[in-house]
Amino acid sequence: MTQGRTPGWITAIGMMSGTSLDGVDAALIETDGVEVRRLDQSVFVPYAPELRERMRACFGNRSATNSEHVVADDLTQVHVDAVNMLLEKTSMTPGDIGVIGFHGQTVFHEPASGLTRQIGTPDMLADKTGIPVVADFRLADVAAGGEGAPLAPVYHAALMKSAGVEVPVAVLNIGGVSNVTWIGEGDDILAFDCGPGNARLDDWMLRHTGNPVDLNGATAASGKGDLMVEVKFLEDPYFDRVPPKSLDREDMAARIDSLVTEAKLGVSDGAATLANCTVAAIVAGVNHLPVAPKSWFVCGGGRHNHYVMETLASRLGVPVRSVDELDWDGDAVEAECFGYLAVRHLHGLPLSFPGTTGVPAPCCGGKLYTTKKAA
Ligand SMILES: Nc1ncnc2c1ncn2[C@@H]1O[C@H](COP(=O)(O)OP(=O)(O)OP(=O)(O)O)[C@@H](O)[C@H]1O
Ligand SMILES: CC(=O)N[C@H]1[C@@H]2OC[C@@H](O2)[C@@H](O)[C@@H]1O[C@H](C)C(=O)O
């Protein structure tokens, strides 16, 4: 195994293809599975629109289908390309990298039925890159009775340890789904998925403008949110559920769609309403936190939506900042996280805890796929 600069330290590439279906993020870190040296090197490879639609067609698959196998190989090839781009960008070779953490694409998540599915072909990634791969990060947690998500909290906490920020503090990821990590004194952490992130807004924009994003929140900012839709949205029992808890990207989708359709909203009012729902779901989560955070740091693409960020700050009444203000790369946190979790797997360290996924005891997860070339 390739070591980093210090014994026990490993240079890792983490890779994430999140629920927004925008593409693959790959990022480089060095870690011993506890501390992290961020190397600030990452790449993003967008999906071709036709692959994105084939991936979207896999959402909801409780088991693999023939067409899903083809999609899994095709999306793995995008990961291979991303690794090669990152190696080229950093003038590194496969021999410089100890491990790849490969999340894969979640197509179905229903932990209550013991099911969470991330598609992808880890052995193909190992063979084509010549680098060992750790994948299947969520399965052991779900098998042990946990939610299987979110898994980023342990990485958020590791980064926060050296950030010099007053606790309690919240790290919030806003992607297709949004999730929060509350960090208190010592090792006290609590985490859960807050609610739909920008997925519903993305779908709305795609349907009405052909572009799957409300760039910087400009459309929402020019509209007026419908308060009744928001009130009805918050009646979903998920918001009263005691955390840890997690969501599938498509949870609440049909209900939100019908609320917005019934309200007969125009493009910008619909965008404002959906952005307000994203914010309202996050704010509703504060009731479940042991103590209200003194500040919030936001990662994920949703932090680029100024309307969401400003509305969130005004409703929370405490500072809401981008993690970039801590010198983290807010677009690469999740990718880096899976490099970190891959190294934790190699060192036999747990990935999830009762306070992060509700798993009864700290749980080691992930599976190692070694390359035939290295054997
Ligand atoms: N400039 C921008 N303005 C507004 N929104 C943006 C911008 N850039 C990205 N986004 C939003 O960020 C989201 C994608 O963020 P990200 O890549 O962090 O999500 P993901 O990792 O795919 O999802 P998840 O975290 O749920 O797995 C999209 O929903 C998109 O709408
Ligand atoms: C099942 C699944 O893939 N969940 C994702 C999703 O995207 C955001 C949120 O929902 C979070 O729970 C999780 O991803 C991040 C990386 C996590 O596990 O922390």
151 pocket-lining for ligand 2 (C-beta < 6 Å): yes
CA dist 92 and 332 (Å) reads 19
Mean pLDDT across 350-373: 94
330 pocket-lining for ligand 1 (C-beta < 6 Å): no
Taking CA atoms only, the protein residue closest to ligand 2 atom 8 is 177
pTM for this model (two decimals): 0.96
**Residue 22, annotated ligand binder?**
yes
At 375 the pLDDT is: 42
Q: 169-174 and 295-299: which strand pairing?
A: parallel
294-307 tens-digit pLDDT: 999 999 999 999 99
pLDDT-derived band at 5, boundaries 50, 70, 90: low
**Residue 18, annotated ligand binder?**
yes
Q: How far is the CA of 151 from the centre of ligand 2 (A)?
A: 7
301 pocket-lining for ligand 1 (C-beta < 6 Å): yes
Among all chains, which residue has been given the structure tokens 């309202």? 280
CA dist 107 and 113 (Å) reads 15
265: left (phi over 0), alpha (psi -120 to 50) or beta: beta
- Least confident among 85-89, 155-159, 181-185, 196-200: 196-200
At 2 the pLDDT is: 53
**Residue 240, annotated ligand binder?**
no
Taking CA atoms only, the protein residue closest to ligand 2 atom 12 is 150
At 20 the pLDDT is: 87
Q: Which residue did the predictor score with more confidence, 94 or 249?
A: 94
At 7 the pLDDT is: 76
Domains of the chain and CATH, by start: 10-148+338-369 (3.30.420.40), 153-326 (3.30.420.40)
Mean pLDDT across 165-193: 96
CA dist 172 and 191 (Å) reads 10
Q: Which ligand is nearest to the CA of 118?
A: 2
206 pocket-lining for ligand 1 (C-beta < 6 Å): no
Question: What does 181-247 look like in DSSP terms, one character per residue?
Answer: EEE-STT-EEEEEEEE-SHHHHHHHHHHHS-SS-GGGHHHHTS---HHHHHHHTTSGGGGSPSS---
CA distances from 331 to 80, 282, 298 (A): 19, 19, 10
Q: Show the CA angle centred on residue 161, arms to residues 157 and 165, nearest 5°.
A: 105
- Least confident among 91-95, 127-131, 165-169, 210-214: 210-214
Give the orientation angle of helix 267-285 with respect to helix 306-316, to 10 degrees: 40
Q: Which ligand is nearest to the CA of 47?
A: 1
What values do phi and psi take at 351, rounded to 5? -100, -25
Q: How far is the CA of 335 from the centre of ligand 1 (A)?
A: 13
- Least confident among 262-266, 285-289, 338-342, 369-373: 369-373
Is residue 58 scored above 90 in pLDDT? yes
176 pocket-lining for ligand 1 (C-beta < 6 Å): yes
- Of all residues in the chain, what percent carry a pLDDT higher than 70? 98
Q: What single DSSP character describes residue 324?
A: G
Mean pLDDT across 147-168: 97
At 4 the pLDDT is: 52
Q: Around Cβ 295, how many Cβ atoms within 10 Å?
A: 15
Neighbouring residues of 297: CB distance < 8 A, sequence distance ≥ 6: 165, 169, 170, 171, 172, 321, 322, 323, 325, 326
Q: Show the CA angle centred on residue 251, arms to residues 136 and 283, nearest 5°.
A: 100
Q: How far is the CA of 166 from the centre of ligand 1 (A)?
A: 27
Is residue 373 scored above 80 in pLDDT? no
pLDDT-derived band at 371, boundaries 50, 70, 90: confident
Helix (H) or strand (E) holding 70: helix 66-90
Mean pLDDT across 90-119: 98
Q: Of the spans 183-187, 195-199, 345-349, which averages the highest pLDDT?
A: 345-349
Among all chains, which residue has been given the structure tokens 């807004």? 201
Q: What single DSSP character describes residue 91?
A: T
Task: Decide: 20 and 214 in contact? Cβ < 8 Å.
Answer: no
At 109 the pLDDT is: 97
CA dist 36 and 163 (Å) reads 12
